[in-house]
Each structure stands twice: as C-alpha cells, then as structure tokens.
Structure 1
Amino acid sequence: MIKRYFLFLLFLMGVLCSVNAISTTISCTNGTSTYYIDVDDVYSESLILTEFENADWYIEAPVIIGYNGTRWYFESESDLIRSLCVIYPLYSPDLVLGGDFRAYSNGKEILWTTIYSMSDGSLAGNFEIPEGSLVYGCIRSHGWTSSTYKLDGVGLVSSSTTSYFGSKVVGTEFGFTSVASGGSLTVFQPVTFLEGTSESVLLLHEYPDFGNISIYAEPESDVYEGANLLGTTDNGGFLALQLPIGNHDLKFVKDEYWDCYETITISVEDETELFVSLSPKSSIFQVSKEFSGSLYPNSVGTLSMDINPVKDAYAAKLRVSGVEVNKVYYQTHEIPKAADGSYILGDVTSTQNIEIEFKTPSSWGEKTFAVEISATDIEGTAYTNLETIDYEVLELPFLLEMPETFGIGINDITLTDQSGTAYSVLMVLYDSNDVEVWSSSTNLLEYCDYTFEVPVNDAGDYTLELNAKAGTVKTYYSIDIIEPITLITEEINVNPGKVATVQFKISNPTSSVKYYTAELTCPFFNESINKTFSIAPGTVYKTVDISFEVPEGLELENYQLILEISDPDKLEPIYSGNVVLTISKESLIFASVPGGNTTLILLAAAVLLIVGTFAALRLKK
C-alpha cells in the first residue's frame, strides 16, 4: 500500500513538473536577426532581462539570440510571435514589460493587437479584421485533458501543447470559440482592431505610417533615439532607416567625437536625407551645413552653416579657401573681410548661422572648398574646425555659344537645348551698378536653338544673367567691353591745297586677324574717303591714318568731318566720331604739319630759333 502511494506521489510530481513554467531561452547575447522588439527606454537592460527570465511561458518559451540595450533579437518569427501571444500568467493576464515595446518582422515594424482570456477562461466573439491580415494564436489547456479550438475561416487546432499557429484571413471576420482555461490571439494588421466582446481584453497599438530616411555621417557612428540604438553607419558613413512619420530626436555617437543631436521630420511622401557632420574633440563647434538650390557653372551658390559651440567660444574667426567668396553673412548681417583675409565672428555662446555666398567655377562636376573656424575657450585653449565642403556643379541643360569678345553694337548669343525638354529662358544684361539695361526671353524647344541679339551701346563692365526653367537654373557671365577705338585727331588746322591727316587708335584682343573699314565723310567732297586695313591678333593699339588734300577756294573757315569704323561681320558701325577742320591762313611751314596745333607749332618754332641762335654764337667764337 505504501508502495502504491509512493508510486502515485511520483506520478503526481511528474505531472506537476510537466506543467511547470518554462523559462526564456537566451542562446547568446550578441546575435542579431530581422525579428526583434524595441523596448521603451524607461526599462534598463537588466530590468528587461529580469522580466524575460521571470516570465511564465507554460508551453514553449521564445529563444532570444542577442540584445543591445533596449533592442532584443529573436531566433525566428515564431519566437517573436510567442513573445507577443503568451506572455502572461494564468489567472492574471498581462504582457511582459506591460507591452511597452514595438515589434519588427523582417526589419519592418508591424502592428500587433493581442486579445487574451479573462480569469474565467472565456474568450469568444466575432471581430472585424481586414482581409489579408495575419492572425496568430496560442492556446494552452489547464489540467490533463485535450481540447479542440477553432478559428472560423482560418484553421483548426487540436492539441494541448500547441504553442502557436498562424494563417492569413480569407474573409472579413472570424469567430473564436470559448477557451476552457486560457489562450491568446494576436493580429497583425494595417489598421486598428475595430471591436471585441465585453469578455475580452484588447491591447490596441495604432499602426504608424512609416517613411524612409537616409543618413550620412561619420563611418561607424551609432544612431540613437532616446536610449534605443537605431543602427550604426557603415564604413562609408551611410545608414538607411524606416521611422514612423513625425518628429524624431536623434543622437549620433562616435569615439573621439562630440555627441551630435539632430531633430528630423519624417514624411510618407518623400524620402528624408540627413547629413550629419560630427566634430572631433579638437574642435569647439558642431557644424551642420546645407546648400540652397542647385548649382550650375558660373552661378552664385549659398552655403548655410549652423555653428553650435560645445563650450563658450571666444575670438572666433572664419576663413574660406578654394573658392571665390562674394559675401559672408553672420547673424543676418554682411561682415567685411579683415586685412588678414579672415571674417571676424567674435564671441559665440549659442548656435549661430553663417551664410557664405560664393561663385561657382565655369566647369561642372564634383567640387570642394574648405572652411576654417578658429576660436579659444575661456581658459585660452585654441580649437580649430576645418570643414571640407563638397558640392556638385550640375551641367547646364543647354549649350551656350558666345562671341570670343564682346564689343559695342549687337552681340549674338546662341542657346541649344540638350536636355530634351522645352522651357523658358530669360536673358538680362546689367551694367556695373547692377542696373538692368536690356532683357529678352524665349521658350526654348527641345533640341532646338535660339539666338539672342544682345545690344551694347557703351564701353564698360557688364554682367549677363541667364535664367532658365522657372529660375531653377541660373548662370552669370562677366563682360568687359573696352573702348576699341580712340580718336587721336579731334581738330585739324590746315591751309587750302595742303594734306590733312586724321589719326585714330584701334585694338584687337581676339586670337584672329580682324579686318575693318574706315570711312571719313567731308562736306566739301561728293564721296567719302575710305580705307580698309587689318589688325594682327592680340594687338593692344594700332595707329591708323586717313589723309586727304584740302581743296582751294573753300568758302567756310570750319567744317565738321565724320569718321566711322565698320566691322564687315556687323550691320552697324562699331565707332562714329567727329573731327573739326579749321582752314588756316598761316604760313605753309606751319600748315604742312599734319593735324597741326597752332600753339604747339609756334612753340616748336621758337625752340628751333633759340637752338639756332646758340649754334651761331658758338661758330663765331
């Protein structure tokens, strides 16, 4: 009899052992997978570990293969599901950690809704669930009898040891029959669970819309949101994430660098790009920078920099090298360049903005320049931020043909589209005071060309602006128009019957021979006097003469002559000027001097007379 009681006791102990709680299996601590949960940062790693180790799984415990702070990785999808379905004790239903975590399957966050039985073991009712949702369930029996449970339209489960099941909903609703002693149901769906029975407990998690973010930072930088490690940038400094839409406060951490904080806004419509510049601890500023708009050859770019002092910075200076700087703005005001080439910022104790306006080069492609910010802290320790600014100059959507040199008159500029799209083009000419002197526009058709005729009336410095595609493409060209012709002879005194000469200077800055025609119109001749001449390439100035004989018997003492210089490639003369001719009654000696000025001639004669007198006196001695 004692033996029978002893055997029964052993049997009872065996049965009791068979229904004892099963503990979480942690196979390793540094493994990762695409199935994980992110626990709210109010829980420490040790507290999370304690919760998992003390959880009563009853049927089958999930396998955890690694954890890092608040992120915990599971071996498989079924292990992840078990952590969502059956984390509760028998008579006091609750989720481990109070359900304060977000679940990820295949690296993407999923909505999960868990329904579990009350203390009386009842779980019944119909629930509206969108077609295509995934439904997972976990059933456990109390005692030694096997029960049958049914999910209408989903499948049939009949086992006292089944840990979980899963299937895709083919209808729009399903029913769950009464569970004798406990069970749970987890639904993964794209919308909120709609309704349940009064006997059920619903844990609803709103499904967030997600957006993509591409992060560019220093290689091997850890990216946190709160205490949650979102990921680490690769060897190239890149990290791609999916985050719920809305605002996120991110922290970037890397050894030997100051921690950096960035607030971003995620949207569903557009992929977000975040460029983060971590400052080494030899620098006193954390710097973030961005360009406004697209950059094209010969355009004006603007670099905006926010400088945030890690500690109060004193006597800060800015230097820019490798690019032509137009202006620098600090605290919205333009600041001048100092004698040593720097820009004085002064003391910086809070985040400030700097805008550097610079001229882009004439070629397109990847470009770079450097910005150096130096300062000291209150103890006099010197710091230097050396920022390398990489930017891209885009190719213009059109080909541009301009004259080798611009001159007074009409200058032809031809644009040919090479983008394959039609767009408007506005061309504006400004003088040296930035006053518009001419403008014209056209609609440039795909792969077609158009020639603008740009008029220039006077010599000087000009700026030509091309504005295309509704202002998204801008480029500028400096035009220096020199006075190509200078009149030497403005007045002529000459006797009738003698030869008069008009002189002028002309230049040729081009690399080819230029041909011109000079035409002198005299009112006492029926025809004008013409002279064709050439100028060698690169000639600064060449003096050209036009001579004619003054007729006898002219009635007037003064005449106005008109000199015009023409380029055979242009319709209008490139120069027009006036010469005053005075008929002189002076001696033939004076009158024969070409273009003679009476005063100068008399002075020259006096000098010759004095020299002759001294020479005669020396001979007498």
Structure 2
Amino acid sequence: MKKHFLLFLLFLLGVMGSVNAEYLTVPETCTPSSYCVVLDDSAMTTEATITIIENIDFVAYLPVVTGVDGNTIYFASEKDLGRFCNYISADYLQIPFNGEFSPYINGQYSPYGLLKGVWSYDLGGDYVEDHIYINTTVPETFYMMLFPNHGQFSGDDIYLNGNMIHTSHDVACTTPVFKTPTSAITNDLRLVLDGSSYVSRMTYTVVIFGNFVYDSTSSYSSIYTMIAPPELYYITFESVVNDFNVYDGDNLLGTFDDGDIIQFATGTHEITVEKDGFTYTESVVMDEDYTMQLPFRSIPLSIEYSEGGLTDVSVYKNGTFFNNYSDGDLLDVLDGTYEFTFVKSGFWNETESFTVSNITEEISVRMYPESVFFKISNTPVEITTYSNSEVNIALNIEPNDNAYGVKLYLTGQEVLDVRDSSNVQISKQDSYYLLDDLTNAKTVNVKINSGTILGTNSLAVRVTGYNSIGTEFVTDTTIDYEIVRLPLSLTVPNWCIGSNSLTVIETEGETRTVTIKVEDSDENIIYSDSYTLEGFETHKFNIDFEETGDYKLYIQSGDLINTYIDVNVANPVSLTTKTITASEGSTGTVTVSIENPFSEPQYYRLTIEGTPLVNSTKVDFSISPGSSKVQSLSFTLLDSLDYDSYSLPLKVYLVEESGLTEIYSDSVILNIGSSGSFIPFIDLDDGIIDTVITLVYDNYKIAGILIISGLGLYVVFGRKKGKKPLKTIKKPIVKKDGKKGGK
C-alpha cells in the first residue's frame, strides 16, 4: 500500500469515527461487473482495498460494490461508479484514493472529468442565473453532487438542456443531493439562484464520463477543474479469431472481437491479448490511434485413428490443459513452437511438437487405441520434397509390451537405406527388416526415393511381432508426403557423346546457388559445377560425355533441393553394315547412320582402314540440325590378299574448331570372296565341247567337280587361302588332223 493511501485511511478513521456515519459493505464473494475502477497501485491487496473503502462515508448516496479483487473494485451500475468518482462528502471534499485510479465501463477505459463550482448570492432581489456551457463531441452522461446552504426565503434550481432536474425553495436546506439525470449533456447545464435578503450558497461537483470542454458566463460563480479528462486515442484490433481477452497491464478490460476498438489515455500501455491460454503482449505508446494486428491463427485440427476422427480429446499445451477438441475443430493459436499432448480415455497419449507459422495448414495427430500393440509415429510429420529426391524419415516404433521377433515391412516406394539410431545398417531379409526384440521404443531411420509423381505419395509401413505368450500382432500405417515442383526449370538436351547444354532457370525470384553433378554407373563423379542464379536468371551448364551409358545428374541447391534425373547417353551413330564381302582388287562399301541432336549444323568425318585396303579412306560430310543421314564410304582392296577374312577399324569424328572428337568406333568384318572359275567357250570346230561350267566356290559340300568328256578330264577344287591352287589333270587332246595336243 502506498504511504499516502495509508495516511488517507488514517484520516478517514479520524474523521469518520467522530460522526454517526453509514458505510458500505463489500460482499465476501467478488462478482465482477461491467463497471469498475483499477487503482494505480497494483500492489494493493484485496484486504487493503476493502479496509479503505469500508471506512468511507459516501453521503447522499451509497455506491453499491459487487466485489473487490486486489486493486480492482467492481460496482453494480454506472451510477454507482459515478458516485465513487465524486467527492466523498461536504465535510471531506476529497476523491477516494486521491483520485489515483482508472474507471472502466464495459471493458472500455472511461476517463472522467470532475468540475467543482462554488455558487453564492447574498443580495436580496430577483433571481440570478449562472450558465455552464459544457460541449462534448457526443452526448455524455454526468453525475452531480450538490452541497446546498440557503435559508427559508432563498432557493436554487438546476436545468439540464432546458429541463429542470433539481429545485429547492422556501425551506432552509443543507442536505447533500446526488443527481443522476436520465438524459445526457449536449451543450448546456444551467443553474438558477433566487432569494431575498438571505444568503444563498451552494458547492457543486459534476462528474462527466468522456471528453468535454466548458465555459461560464456568470459573475456569481467560480468554477475550476478538479480533474481534467485526459486526451484519448484508440486501439483497433485486427485478428482472425474472436472472443479474446484484453488486459491493460494486469487489468482485464474485457472480451473483444476482431474489429473492436478500445480507447486509452496518452502514455505507454502494456496491452496483453489472451485466447485459450495463448498470450500476446505489445508495449504501445498512445500518442496516436493504433491498429494492433494479432498474430493468432485458426488452424484446423485433425485428430484421427484407424477408424476415423475422434471427439472430446483433451489437449495440453506445454503440459498445461487448456481445452477439449474434436477432429475438425479450429485451434486458435499464436505463431510459435509448442508441445501438444492429446489425451483420450482408451487411447495412447500422444505428445508432439508443432511449429505454427503462416504456412501451417493443419495440425494433425494420429492416436492409437490401447489395444494396438505397436504405436508407429514418424518425424517429420509433414514432408514436402521434390521428385527423385532422397527422403529421410525417422520411424519411432513403440511396443505396448515386450515384443519379440519384430519385423519391419516397407512398401510402395524405393527404399534406399534402413539404419538404427546408432547408424548401423539394417539389412533386408526377404521382404522385411528384422528389428529383433523390443522392450521399449526404437527409432529406425529410413531413406527412400521420393519418386516422380507430383502431389501426395505414400510409404506403407507394417510392423509385426509377438508378445510373451506367442501371440502375433500386426500394425499398419502409411506415411504421406508431398512432391512439389522444383523452383528451377530445366531444359534437357538429347544426351549424346560430346558436349551437351543443360539450361537452368530460377522461377521464384530468389537467389540460389545451384550445383550440377553427374555420376556414372559406378558412382564416379565425371562432372560438377556450381553457379549462383539471381531471381529468374538463366544459366547453361555444358556437360561433356566421352562414353555412352547410364548416368545420374544431380541438381542441388541449399539444404532442401537434392534431386536427380536419369541420363542415358546413346550414340547418335549406328553401323548399318557390319559384314561385307568383296573380292581381291575390287571395291567395298560400308554405310553408317548418323543423327545430329544439336540445334546447329554439325560436321563429321568417317574413316576406315586396314591391311587389305590400298589406302586408308575417309569422307567428310555435314548434317542439318535435328536431321539424320545415311553416309556411305567406299574403299579398294589389294589385288592379292593372304586371308579370307579381315577386321577393318571404322571411326566417326565430330569436326570442331578445336579439332576432331571421336564419337564412334567399331569394326567391319570383311570377307574375301570370288566371282567363280570358268571353263571357256571352246570352238566346236576345234573339237572342244561347248560346255561352260561355273564352280560354286563357297559351297563346302562341293570339294571339287570332276568333268569327264571325250576331250579331257578336269578336277576343280574350291580354293582357300593358304591352300594349293586348283589342279587340272590333263588328257591329250586329239585334233581333227590327227595330231595330239593339249592345253
């Protein structure tokens, strides 16, 4: 208690104890009302406050108090509040608690002004008038205390806006009067004195709730301001929730909604808003009107178990109960991180940490009946990722009792790795991962490939195990995650041997450092480069491939983006003719098919070489963008060869300003053939048979052909490289003239 409050109490005890006074009584039970005063001394206890007010003699009208709570005093009506704010009595022209309090009406701070006037007239004659002009921006109610002192032939009248609200004539009067007019002040409060030779005198005080200014035109009255109303400013509340409590310091102003306005006096105010146990405080300097934006959010609650939504679930915030909720209810909560515990009879208690921000769309919790043997939860609860990204999920598996032979099944997505909390890998056995025996909760870290389908994807989880008597239990659940589009746009080329241009565009207006990394099938890094993209910037990464095959191209940026695309580098060149046949000294031809995957004309060189060739042979040519061409290359064989089959190296080069880049190599199988052996036409006139025999050289079934005629015998053998040449067994030829001859 402040020292001067104690002196005030001692003074009351000294003064009031000497008269026959009537005091108010404070009820034992405090009943808050819409009308109250809050003492400036926040250290005042309930007992100290009651002690003081129960020792005040409120003359003329005793205000009705409904209760006291610390430094707050509640009244039954505005009239009672108005009496409390006025003088205590004519003998003690003092305001309770020296006026060191703030009045509130319906939760609104309601500053008041107190006018004090002394009106006197001591000459006989006609009546005189005294006008007090009180101007307000809106009609304001007022409460007047009158302390008259006039004789038998004197009197006084009081008018408000032209209507008489008090009169006293022809009878001596010294009794205090408390006036509570039914109408509000608009502009004129008029006092009228009349009398004869007797002195007419009255002291009056007027309490006005609200802002006002005043003036007086009388020479018979002296007026001064006891308390001037402070300058007011207004706080407007903007909130997505309603029914929140507002405090000014420790004083509860009431319950308000979005859009409500509260008036405050100038100065600094600690404004606290409370809703369902969540509090938000701002220190506001009131020197102008202010809009307070409350960071509350109405977040839908999803409280489910395997059969659907749950109702009447007790929710605790950081260990403290604050309300019951059902599935689908809205939770009014401030931004921040909280630990919520969900409790319902017949179910396992669920405790989870949630961070609420402008991106929070739902608070979701899965509850399990006590009959469920395994409780499965995952962290994080909400998963957002990108296509072909690694997703790390911590599975928490908690048995209801000791569990034996526990197995974990993961289906629906590609599982990359499974490890325990000690980072020891758990190998897959058949279709499951063996977790052995569990006596308490176990964390299993699972890494999966997110897949490529945008939107909601799921990983199916099943846990099986046995209790101590061999009963098998099975718990199934699914883990949902969302695949969203990359904040990067990729333009992918037709991958081929040589240089390839990958175009990357930033699409969200942010600055990002992007790393492109390429791994071959053995996980060797064959390319890596980084570039910092400004918002909406475009950059090209030039990637060279020397060999065909399958690769993985990783796109990495920050901590969240780590995705990849599969790359298949196919050779744009194919050999059309793998095997050709040509004879010694003849010309052979090979053909290749080539596609130009680039956006510009490309230039190529085709070569073939080998010992059977007279010279190494080449041909240069070009192909239009996106076009294909079948290109042939002819070569000449030597006249004499040692073997019947050869392998000829063939290569294709990309011709660039920097030189030749080999993009294809293969071998052509060359088989050496023959056009056959002939027996020439023989002139019958010379006695020679006119039969022409062509030997089938390549037919392995024909080792030779024996020709017998009257003219001679020929044995023809198929010729092979490294074998003896054809033999001819000759027989004398008898010419027509009887001479012998031969060929």
Shorter chain as normaliser: what TM range? 0.5 to 0.7
**Does residue 392 of structure 1 match 2:482?**
yes
**Residues 260 and 113 of structure 1, relative CA distance in 2, 3 Å threshold:** farther
Shift of 1:156: 8.0
**Does residue 346 of structure 1 match 2:432?**
no
One-letter amino acid of the structure 1 residue matched with residue 101 of structure 2: V
2:567 corresponds in structure 1 to 479
2:587 corresponds in structure 1 to 499
Match of 1:452 among 523, 538, 541: 541
Match of 2:101 among 154, 159, 182: 154
The 2-side partners of 1:438 and 1:165 are apart by 70
- Mapping 1:329-340, distance limit 5 Å: 329-331=419-421, 332-339=423-430
2:448 corresponds in structure 1 to 358
One-letter amino acid of the structure 1 residue matched with residue 327 of structure 2: N
8 Å CA contact 1:294–1:473 kept in 2: the answer is no
1:230 corresponds in structure 2 to 322
- Report the 3-state secondary structure (helix = DSSP H, G, I; strand = E; otherwise coil) of the residue aligned with 1:333: coil
Shift of 1:436: 1.3
One-letter amino acid of the structure 2 residue matched with residue 230 of structure 1: F
Mark the structure with the bigger radius of gyration.
2
**Residues 515 and 230 of structure 1, relative CA distance in 2, 3 Å threshold:** same
The 2-side partners of 1:169 and 1:287 are apart by 59
1:276 corresponds in structure 2 to 365
Higher relative contact order (CA 8 A, sep 6+): 1
**Residues 486 and 608 of structure 1, relative CA distance in 2, 3 Å threshold:** farther
The 2-side partners of 1:323 and 1:380 are apart by 31
TM-score by length of 1: 0.55
8 Å CA contact 2:465–2:472 kept in 1: the answer is yes
**Residues 155 and 77 of structure 1, relative CA distance in 2, 3 Å threshold:** closer
- Report the 3-state secondary structure (helix = DSSP H, G, I; strand = E; otherwise coil) of the residue aligned with 1:276: strand
The 2-side partners of 1:338 and 1:284 are apart by 23
Shift of 1:549: 2.2
**Residues 325 and 492 of structure 1, relative CA distance in 2, 3 Å threshold:** same
2:19 corresponds in structure 1 to none
Percent identical residues: 20
8 Å CA contact 1:139–1:164 kept in 2: the answer is no
2:637 corresponds in structure 1 to 550
Shift of 1:136: 2.5
**Residues 155 and 322 of structure 1, relative CA distance in 2, 3 Å threshold:** closer
8 Å CA contact 2:415–2:446 kept in 1: the answer is yes
2:730 corresponds in structure 1 to none
8 Å CA contact 2:43–2:71 kept in 1: the answer is no
- Report the 3-state secondary structure (helix = DSSP H, G, I; strand = E; otherwise coil) of the residue aligned with 1:528: strand
Shift of 1:610: 5.2
1:315 corresponds in structure 2 to 405
1:115 corresponds in structure 2 to 45
- Mapping 1:199-278, distance limit 5 Å: 210=279, 216-218=302-304, 219-220=310-311, 221-224=313-316, 229-236=321-328, 239-241=331-333, 250-262=340-352, 264=353, 275-278=364-367
TM-score by length of 2: 0.47
TM-superposition CA deviations, 1:289-340 (whole Å, max 9, x none):
223975112211111222222222222222222222212222322222221x
**Does residue 419 of structure 1 match 2:508?**
yes
Shift of 1:168: 7.4
**Residues 482 and 136 of structure 1, relative CA distance in 2, 3 Å threshold:** same
- Report the 3-state secondary structure (helix = DSSP H, G, I; strand = E; otherwise coil) of the residue aligned with 2:366: coil
The 2-side partners of 1:467 and 1:582 are apart by 50
8 Å CA contact 1:375–1:382 kept in 2: the answer is yes
8 Å CA contact 1:521–1:529 kept in 2: the answer is no
- Mapping 1:79-90, distance limit 5 Å: none
2:416 corresponds in structure 1 to 326
One-letter amino acid of the structure 2 residue matched with residue 239 of structure 1: L
One-letter amino acid of the structure 2 residue matched with residue 296 of structure 1: Y
Gapped runs of 5+ residues in structure 1? 1-17, 23-55, 63-75, 86-111, 124-133, 141-145, 158-162, 171-186, 193-206, 591-603, 617-621
TM-superposition CA deviations, 1:66-85 (whole Å, max 9, x none):
xxxxxxxxxx777xx99x99
8 Å CA contact 1:308–1:352 kept in 2: the answer is yes
One-letter amino acid of the structure 1 residue matched with residue 454 of structure 2: W
Shift of 1:398: 1.9
**Residues 267 and 583 of structure 1, relative CA distance in 2, 3 Å threshold:** closer
**Residues 209 and 577 of structure 1, relative CA distance in 2, 3 Å threshold:** same
The 2-side partners of 1:165 and 1:579 are apart by 96
8 Å CA contact 1:293–1:472 kept in 2: the answer is no
1:442 corresponds in structure 2 to 531
Shift of 1:434: 2.0
The 1-side partners of 2:549 and 2:485 are apart by 30
TM-superposition CA deviations, 1:363-404 (whole Å, max 9, x none):
43233332222223223333332222222212211221113x
**Does residue 136 of structure 1 match 2:63?**
no
1:519 corresponds in structure 2 to 606
**Residues 168 and 461 of structure 1, relative CA distance in 2, 3 Å threshold:** farther
1:89 corresponds in structure 2 to none
8 Å CA contact 1:136–1:164 kept in 2: the answer is no
- Report the 3-state secondary structure (helix = DSSP H, G, I; strand = E; otherwise coil) of the residue aligned with 1:150: helix
Match of 1:528 among 618, 630, 637: 618
The 2-side partners of 1:315 and 1:346 are apart by 5
TM-superposition CA deviations, 1:540-588 (whole Å, max 9, x none):
xx9987442236699xxx99865216599x997563437699999x987
8 Å CA contact 2:573–2:595 kept in 1: the answer is no
**Residues 329 and 233 of structure 1, relative CA distance in 2, 3 Å threshold:** farther
1:401 corresponds in structure 2 to 491
TM-superposition CA deviations, 1:444-477 (whole Å, max 9, x none):
2333322222111112321101112x34322211
Q: How many residues align?
A: 441
8 Å CA contact 1:217–1:238 kept in 2: the answer is no
The 2-side partners of 1:606 and 1:365 are apart by 67
Q: Which has the higher strand share?
A: 2
The 2-side partners of 1:120 and 1:361 are apart by 72
- Mapping 1:596-607, distance limit 5 Å: 607=700
Shift of 1:605: 5.5
8 Å CA contact 1:290–1:303 kept in 2: the answer is yes
- Mapping 1:370-381, distance limit 5 Å: 370-381=460-471
Gapped runs of 5+ residues in structure 2? 1-22, 54-69, 77-87, 90-94, 113-245, 252-273, 281-295, 305-309, 678-696, 707-714, 716-743
2:701 corresponds in structure 1 to 608
One-letter amino acid of the structure 2 residue matched with residue 474 of structure 1: N
8 Å CA contact 2:450–2:483 kept in 1: the answer is yes
8 Å CA contact 2:383–2:482 kept in 1: the answer is no
Shift of 1:360: 1.6
1:175 corresponds in structure 2 to none
8 Å CA contact 1:277–1:287 kept in 2: the answer is no
Shift of 1:428: 0.7
Shift of 1:429: 0.6
The 2-side partners of 1:156 and 1:274 are apart by 42
